Amino acid sequence: MALTLFCLLIPFGTRAQANPVILVMGDSLSAEYGLARGAGWVRMLEDQLQKESSPWTVFNASISGETSSGGLARLPKLLEQKKPGIVLLELGANDALRGLSIQESEKNLRKMIQLSKVLGAKVLLFGMQIPPNYGQDYTKQFQELYPKLARQEQVELLPFFLKGVAADINLFQADRMHPNEKAQSILFKNVWGAMAPYQTLLKSK
């Protein structure tokens, strides 16, 4: 009976390991805030992977309002549970909105990158920018934070996640902060383009 049970469990264990995972750690920009369910760029990424018959699946752990500190607190459990091969890290904008210091944001994002790398996951860091009304020095330091981290931690960088969207008010919801449904295809193209170094990996298990 024990042998039978063991044999029955083998297919499930094999199947669990057969589909490598892309973990998305983001805020409202990745959590479909204000959008119809399934209309966000993350769903477009899932659809693209299926279109290309990629074995990879996507787990979207994004939460509206998330900060780098909140993401860091949640990440260890997610890494343990999902064992992702790629981590898409889209956090930091809410840090600026809440006045968190650049140093604190840097420390949190760096730790998230390092934790992911220890597991063996590749990391794509999403660069963010903030309006100049936050002060010239803070705005400049915030913009430089992402390329600095990517360079020092040797991970891939999407220079500016909202490229092609940020300057067009018609691509935002009424709050003028969150991209609307029309903007999602642009965001997806930005992400997919930055994932070019992973294309060979995405075709394999």
Task: Give the active site residue among 30, 53, 178, 204.
Answer: 178
Helices (H), 134-197: 136-153, 181-194
Catalytic entry in 28, 68, 105, 116: 28
Residue 15, CB-side half-sphere exposure with 13 Å CA sphere: 5
CA-based nearest residue to 201, from 62, 75, 52: 52
Is 178 assigned a catalytic role? yes
d(CA 17, CA 83): 10
Reported as half-sphere exposure (CB side, CA atoms, 13 A), residue 185 has a value of: 1
From 27, 95, 175, 204, active-site residue:
175
Tokens 């699946």, residue located: 57
Nearest to 16 by CA among 60, 62, 55, 74: 55
CA distance 77 to 44: 26
Query: Looking at the annotation, which residues are catalytic?
Result: 28, 175, 178
